[in-house]
Structure 1
Amino acid sequence: MEALLLTPRPTTGAVPQCPEAALIRRLQARDERALTDFAARYGDNLRGLVRGLVPDAVMAQDVWQECLLRLWQSFPHYAPGHGRLTGWARRICRNVAIDELRAPRWRDLRVMQPLAQSAEAQGRAASGGFQPEHLGLLALCAQLRPVQRQVIDLIYGHDLTFEQTAQRLNLSKGTVTTRARAAYRVLGRHTA
């Protein structure tokens, strides 16, 4: 199972010619070779569905791997009397793709805009101005508590040292350091 998920399908063009009922029995018996046969028979169709729902090619490949895993886990529960295998598999892949698109790790990817694609950002880059919204930093900073956001804004937005930030906020350097570290932890959780 793991080898199928990590390596691309060979492009031999040969699709196994076993009846669908036999393939279903093998899948429900947890035969890993049956999963390879399933992917050879239905993979292009299902990958096309995922690719149509997921705008980014790398993300679509990750979602496809998640679909294979979810299908593998769900095959024992498939009941042929409730519809064709392809329809059942397409519903699972569609649901996985939608769930993944709603997940926080992909939400941040959609917020970010590549600097090279934004003429406005290119103009700012040429003038030396940095705009954090083009990297999704503003959305990430919204996750911080106001006191943490204030410290991060002064340190990184206004290029102040920890000592200068402490003076500006009338706080001790230790308090500024503690708030900055707490902000780093929050940002790290949302970018991982």
Structure 2
Amino acid sequence: MKGESRPDHVWGKKNGTTEEEKKPPAENKAKPDFGLSGKLAEETNMFNGVVIKYSEPPEARKPKRRWRFYPFKGDEDLPTLYIHRQSAYLIGRDRKVADIPVDHPSCSKQHAALQYRISSYSKEDGTKGQRVRPYIIDLESANGTYINNVKIEPRKYVELFEKDVIKFAYSSREYVLLHEHSKDDGDDDNVME
């Protein structure tokens, strides 16, 4: 049998094709992804050599009202943080980019952002008005952001109100949000149209 070829075998395979073999091979190639990669915006979102995870929305505005964070560590008062001089503040461990640095190891490098946004509301007389309000957004941090001891959902703006207490991850520091006229109920965060 040496040198003879058998008609039902060719180089270790059976001659003749089955239905499975007739089908074209399944496409294992990855389909093109035309979604946003962020590479184009990377250069514009870079500060001090670090790519910033957060970019301001179109409704970002600088507040008229002078908001402040009053940080506490246990019973100890820490220096007041004046947070009315720009429309957004990045909060995190990375001191190259953070506007409000937090040094606790459970906090992320870019943990959260405080953002002032213009929003519409109905006045008591039924007319519409606009005002600039503070919001916070968790930037998908490892251990979360808490408002009044309730963990907020990542990547969603949550409106902040006067006397809210904000905590970042497992840090013992608490940040109480107040403004210069906290005893008054004036609406000086309204925008004149």
If the TM-score is normalised by the length of the shorter chain, which range does it land in?
under 0.3
User: What TM-score does the superposition give when structure 1 sets the normalisation length?
Assistant: 0.21
Q: Which structure has more RCO (C-alpha within 8 Å, separation ≥ 6)?
A: 2
* Structure with the largest fraction of helix: 1
User: What TM-score does the superposition give when structure 2 sets the normalisation length?
Assistant: 0.21
